[in-house]
Amino acid sequence: MKEEYIKKNIRQVLPLNFHIYPDSLRSEGDITFFIVRGPEKKYLGIIGPRKQVSAAGFIKKISDDIDINNKSGYIISIFGQNDENLDILTDTIPSLKPVTLGTKTSFGFLETGWELPMLLI
């Protein structure tokens, strides 16, 4: 499902006290993941075909599936934040895994560290 469509229409189907973070949408195949704020904390939201969302393996669903009023069979599921769901999410979307920058100078300083102040004079 297109991210622009989701951003425009998801508010109509989420419970009133849940709000999506539009910039959090990440898609992988037919499934789109997002962060949603509930009355007390944030949750992981997933939208996609019922079979694929169910087969994804996420645990600790906090509400019943929300059927989207269309013929595509797409649903929205809301899950709690926990280590198991984080592992599944980062395995599904590898770009979410943290990476080390390494020990080489990356930005902000030149090799000796003295050239930068001299350039500002």
Residue 78, both tokens: 């809301």
**Domains in the chain: how many in total?**
1
Identify which of 27, 28, 45, 25 has the alpha carbon closest to the alpha carbon of residue 36: 45
Instruction: Show the low-confidence residues of the chain (pLDDT under 50).
Output: 114-121
Domain region containing 44: 3-96
Residue 33, both tokens: 């993941």
- The string of pLDDT tens digits covering residues 30-42 is 889 999 998 889 9
CATH assignment at residue 15: 3.30.200
Round to the nearest angstrom and report the end-to-end CA distance of the chain: 54
pTM of the model: 0.72
Q: Is residue 104 part of a domain?
A: no
The answer to whether 76 touches 13, Cβ cutoff 8 Å, is yes
3-state secondary structure at position 14: coil
Q: Is residue 40 part of a domain?
A: yes
